[in-house]
A and B are shown apart, each in its own frame.
Chain A
Amino acid sequence: MSVGALPLAVTFEAFTDIGFWSGVLVVAGIYAVVTLGLQLNVGFTGIVNFGQAGFMAVGGYSMAILVLEAGLSFWLALPIAVLVTMGFGLLIGLPSLRLRGDYFAIVTLAMAEVVRLVAQNARDLTGGNKGLYCEFEGVNQTCFDDAWRSVSDSMLGFFESFWSDPEPLLPLLIVIWVTVVLGVVALTYLQGTPWGRVLRAVREDEDATRALGKNTLLYKLQSLMISALLGALAGFFLALFLATIHPDDYEPIVTFFAFGVLILGGLANYKGVVVGAILLWTLLEGTRFVELPISEEKTAALRFAIVGAVLIGLMAFRPQGLFGKREEMVLGD
């Protein structure tokens, strides 16, 4: 992709490259799953949860530990890890959901950091900074994603019957996006039920809702636990995509990026989450094809600056996000 003397050039060939788009869509899909939880919390319940990265870590680590240390099958480990994460959400939410909004935001952020620091330091269980992937016993190795690999391979084998060189990420891509679609459909349905209407009532005026005899804490807890569930799923997908589980992949940055997706797509709109995720990651990965005469380090800095500018710009000029409904919700107290 050398462009000679031109200081700045854009190569479009990659935009038709299926490998590029699979990569973007996998990451966007993972962020869509995790941000759906944020949408339920922030957009529809009015609780500002900054702990999504922590839920992802709890989900991912529980799954890998159950497979590698407890010797459980991958398929059994998944639901148990989901339950563990939801239980963790309950544990966090029970004391902290009574707090004022900004306190809750800080507590959840601190909680996510505690999870990450424990993952970094409880070396016997989590592998510390080496992360988790495979266990070796003599010549045998067990990896947490063995079961998924074989499913993925058989799916690829099936694609090969009509496509000579299938994209290796395609099976994961399909599973992630089926989850995204199911998530959007299920959450949109739930929002229309009496339960969903109570959540919105809590968002609008918690005291009034309580005065009507609703146990608002219970509703907020349920909202947080569903968010934890979605976080756990995103954690699984991230672990399968990266083929490793490492503390650095669950930094608070992940939550902040998810907030970027949430705001970009718009509040109180589940479909907006999907659009926001695709938009943000196309934008971020697209910077790779603008050949700037700068080092990789500076390109990474530039990507950060883009997310920062998107957040500042949206909050200043369009706080409801691109597809948010102003009459439904504006971040203006």
Chain B
Amino acid sequence: MKDFFDARPALVAFGVLGLIALALVVAEGLHDVAQASLNGLTLGTIYALGAVGLTLVYGILRLVNFAHGDFLAFGAYIAYLVNVTWGLPLAAAIVVAMAATALLGLASERLMWGPMREKGAGWLQLLLMTIGLAFVIRSAIQWFWGNEIRTLDVNVTDSVEFLGLRIGQTELMVVVVGIAVLVGVGLVVRFSLLGKRMRALSDSLALAETAGIDTKRVILYTWLFAGALAGLAGVLSGALTNLRPELGFELLLPIFAAVILGGIGNPFGALSAGLVLGVVIELSTLVVEPRWKLTFGFLALIIALVIRPQGIFGQARAA
């Protein structure tokens, strides 16, 4: 069993999850499980979008970016500016928010991480800088928009029904846009030259450089990529619930959980782990009261890290 677990961890994990789902179907009925899974997919989309960028930055630069959650919040508030303050449609807000957050990522690379790497800064030094950056972004949000809870101009009342399952129009939009982008991201990372280069850098920055890859360029693109996806995740999360300055930090730990479960530096892992985590968290509401669901998510992270620190999809390099 142990050998098998080590050889095919993802298969084992999905097997266990399948069994749990089956048990839940027997106990709670198919409809409830399907409904909870659908809700989980919505949540998981946001985790997955946040996690892909975070894992690439983590894997390539060994930068534990605690400001990533605040990148999401930044994107959400930019969308608020466009969507509510200027009154433009949500689609425009999404585009502007993605562009702005990509630029934020790029600026942070140019001003902070690039120069710090040249100085040979260690991971803790960079980690503490990301906390500093997170504080600065969050205080800027508080400065301009205050602490009150804001909502984007989305339809929160209408819902769509199919096969007896109910999904809100906004949720549906989040899932469709999110999954479409995730598939696109998966294709780009898997097949495009840029994607291959990113994964090469994530495997080994030094080797990639020796192989003649312009690593500086790839790093800049990685930031654009990570920033844009973070911005999108932020807007979708804002559309789904609401906007508050703590939004980013609340999403940060679940996103980190997806990154670690997926194996650091592995974009496909982060993507699947994000979706799985969302579904698992929502399924947990069938067993425990909903207010416990986040606790459940973090416990899953801790247990996963302790049992299998290299992640379900990763190779052994964490010990």
Contact = CB atoms under 8 A, between A and B. Distances in A.
A310 B132 contact: yes
Interface stretch (B25-33, B98-106, B138-146): B138-146
Contacts of A310: 132
A72 B260 CA distance: 42
A8 interface: no
B319 interface: yes
Interface in B122-148: 122-129, 131-136, 138-140, 142-143, 146-147
A283 interface: no
A99 B122 contact: no
A309 B129 CA distance: 9
A186 interface: no
Interface residues of A, number: 48
Nearest to A312: B132
B319 A316 contact: no
B216 interface: no
A75 interface: no
B221 interface: no
B307 to A, nearest CB: 9
A288 B64 CA distance: 33
A44 B139 CA distance: 32
A170 to B, nearest CB: 32
A315 B125 contact: yes
B200 interface: no
A307 interface: yes
Given A109-B253, A305-B136, A103 B318 contact: yes
A256 B136 CA distance: 13
B158 to A, nearest CB: 32
Interface in B91-123: 112, 115-116, 120-123
A184 interface: no
A4 interface: no
Given A96-B305, A110-B298, A311-B128, A301 B249 contact: no
Interface in A116-144: 117-118, 120-121
> Is chain B's binding surface mostly helix, strand, loop or mixed?
helix
Given A103-B305, A259-B128, A316-B112, A304 B135 contact: yes
Contact of A301 (B122, B142, B318): B142
Contacts of B11: none
Interface string A83-110: 0000000000001101111110111011
A333 B132 contact: no
B142 A297 contact: yes
A308 B122 contact: no
Q: How many residues of B sit at the interface, in one of the four size bands?
A: 35 or more
Interface string B144-185: 001100000000000000000000000000000000000000
B12 interface: no
A311 B302 CA distance: 27
B61 to A, nearest CB: 12
B112 A312 contact: yes
A76 B319 CA distance: 41
A106 B147 CA distance: 27
Contacts of B122: 330-333
Contact of B309 (A100, A303, A316, A332): A100
A111 B133 contact: no
B292 A121 contact: yes
B46 interface: no
Contact of B318 (A99, A120, A312): A99
A204 interface: no
B88 to A, nearest CB: 27
A96 B147 contact: no
A262 B53 CA distance: 30
Contact of B146 (A99, A256, A297, A305): A297
A117 B302 contact: no
A297 B135 contact: no
Contacts of B115: 316
Nearest to A313: B132
Given A48-B124, A332-B120, A333-B122, A106 B256 contact: yes
B194 to A, nearest CB: 26
B82 interface: no
B135 A101 contact: no
A263 B128 contact: yes
* Most interface-central of B124, B253, B309 (chain A CB within 10 A): B124
Contacts of A101: 123-124
Contacts of B139: 301-305, 308
Contacts of A107: 301-302, 305-306
8 contacts: A48-B127, A99-B319, A114-B295, A117-B292, A121-B291, A298-B143, A304-B138, A333-B123
Given A308-B134, A312-B112, 4 more contacts: A96-B306, A114-B302, A259-B128, A332-B121
Interface of A: 42, 48, 95-96, 98-103, 105-107, 109-111, 113-114, 117-118, 120-121, 252, 256, 259, 263, 297-298, 300-305, 307-313, 315-316, 319, 330-333
